[in-house]
A and B are shown apart, each in its own frame.
Chain A
């Protein structure tokens, strides 16, 4: 019997609210070992092909104590909390962590990993459109594969990798479909619900998660489209947490019709294309990634893509959740502001800090923005 919309949403929201417990349960259920993938991008497929549970490490709301000795206050809050959690032993049960280096902060965090589990580093090439970028990243991914094999004590076969790439492409297609269907259900798929559903993907076996999303899409379609009389916005940024930020949107009756959030749609909007080998496919996926502040792009396709997304989803405006102390995002803001002014689309930029506890100022700014829409 098909599950109801509410049943599935409740399950996924519980996962997103209790990541540690969810990962433990997923490992116990499947007998898999967990491998951490530090935000924003890592080749989850390699860990999946190794028979592991890839877990996304995106920080969280945690009191910053230990990290104060290791990092000055002007590191982004997401990496502050990742270091804090690592130093506190939260990630010690992981078999390994994979750490990318797309910005100066992550380059350093990778070098000073404070967790007990082994860290595997890699670097994304930034001159992405050249063939040599594929060669280089394939080598980096091969190194991750070899190191993971040594840690786990088992081979990761080409066949398992190819299967993982195919499966992840399916998962990504399902996720894109979900974000489309969600636009017709803005009352049910509220900003907090939408975010929790997407976030749950980091703490569950992807096969089970994908099935949940497929069932959710089915149940939403069966229920039929909903009317929405409130305002509609697109979100952009690295993350849009803490949850209170989304609750403010809900308070003012604002729905999210689309996103360009690194933790959300940027994860699944680009497939791994057919290539000579599975690792080359994964490398080509990075080459094809578009519109992300962390993927070098002198043409700033993010700007046009966001204007298009706002228009295509009939949103009233764009809300930039600017991760505090995140250089790659901060450089894009003036360009976005200028482009959106030219396009006549309202834009609000609010600062995102995972450790924020006072939201009154943001609430006032969002209220003003919504009233002006």
Chain B
């Protein structure tokens, strides 16, 4: 670590170095008898970080496997074990990996405990049940009730906050040490600052042309997922912000080698097995993906030391909102990032991403008159994607956006 000088590195170099280091640190810790936690991607990292538990993220790990084309053999293994191919592809790949512990990407050490927060989906409850049961390890849960009304109720926040106390008790029991409240407060400061730095950097997508392609943002996401509790994460995003500001000042577009002719919002998770294809088809049409729900997903900002505020942040994030909340969120993204079209990923792996698409699409079309297209895909299982369908749908979207431009609307 002492040989590394962050000042001389670009944000991209820091991203690659830090994500690899985080996994290597966990592997080394495991080898030396340290504790490793598997965590869902938007769970409160503050607790394990405060107790020096190395945390790795199965969702992010599967992304690495799927993007490198290594998912099919693990998916096949899961299906042989009896997992239906209807189940989330991340879960299937991870549960298979837990069994075989071998993959095309970085190897991830097995956990001594798991932590989940169901603010993104309920499938995590079952997935992590299965990990905890199979490995016979402790499970820590922050259950955030679904906000079925447009307001986040005080009772919801109070319930989430009360669970934090249980997690602290569990961690004291697991580590056989008193909870480190001083470190906890420090991590809260770091995590909250990192969330702000992430949001500030990715918010620069609103510049025209956008200096950041959403596909690059997908890559940076690994850091906010895996290292939200560490200071290096924020350093990277501040550096990214400075780089993007410079590009924006010079009107440099985030699409490499193409001009930004259209700006769109991508609704849903990336289609990781075909990331390159999905990107190139858009780039060939001069379409820059500038809007997505990801910047706000990790904008978990609260006053350090305020557990109630922290609980509110975790239970108020995008996927946990009512239909109205989800529509409002998307409309503000479309407005803020000046999008002229929307691509909805009908992701075979994620019911939560899909089952409100019809209503969200209707509302966005009616309120903002923005053309929308959908395509069938999957976040991890390459069998659920068709290149030809994607290409045709994007062509149609571009035609609609061109038409709208000619009529003087949009963007």
Contact = CB atoms under 8 A, between A and B. Distances in A.
Given A70-B358, A330-B86, A125 B159 contact: yes
Contacts of B145: 123-125, 136, 140
B129 A333 contact: no
B158 A132 contact: yes
B162 A130 contact: yes
A123 B158 CA distance: 15
A359 interface: no
B27 interface: no
A324 B87 CA distance: 11
B356 A112 contact: yes
A330 B118 contact: no
A56 B125 CA distance: 26
A107 B158 contact: no
B139 interface: yes
Given A132-B162, A298-B132, A108 B84 contact: no
Contacts of A71: 355, 358
Which of A75, A104, A136, A300 counts the most chain B CB atoms within 10 A? A104
A70 B358 CA distance: 6
Contact count band on B: 35 or more
Given A104-B123, A107-B352, A299-B133, A325 B86 contact: yes
Contacts of B159: 125, 132-133, 135-136
A333 B83 contact: yes
Which of B86, B118, B126, B163 counts the most chain A CB atoms within 10 A? B126
Contact of B351 (A101, A136, A327): A327
Contacts of A322: 84
Interface in B340-361: 346, 348, 351-352, 354-356, 358-359
B285 to A, nearest CB: 26
Interface in A294-330: 296-300, 322, 324-325, 327-328, 330
Interface string B150-163: 00010110110011
A139 interface: yes
A111 B352 CA distance: 12
B126 A72 contact: no
A105 B355 contact: yes
B22 interface: no
Contacts of B356: 108, 111-112
Contacts of B355: 71-72, 75, 104-105, 108-109, 112
A54 interface: no
Contact of B148 (A121, A135, A324): A121
A364 interface: no
A325 B355 CA distance: 13
B133 A127 contact: no
Interface in A117-142: 121-127, 130-133, 135-136, 139-140
Interface residues of A, number: 52
A337 interface: yes
B126 A331 contact: yes
Contacts of B146: 101, 107, 123
A350 to B, nearest CB: 13
A74 interface: yes
B122 A298 contact: no
A207 interface: no
Given A121-B149, A122-B148, A132-B158, A72 B354 contact: yes
B102 interface: no
A125 B158 CA distance: 12
Which of A74, A108, A325 counts the most chain B CB atoms within 10 A? A108
Interface string B245-284: 0000000000000000000000000000000000000000
14 contacts: A71-B355, A74-B348, A74-B351, A102-B122, A103-B122, A105-B351, A107-B352, A112-B355, A125-B143, A125-B145, A136-B145, A328-B126, A334-B83, A335-B134
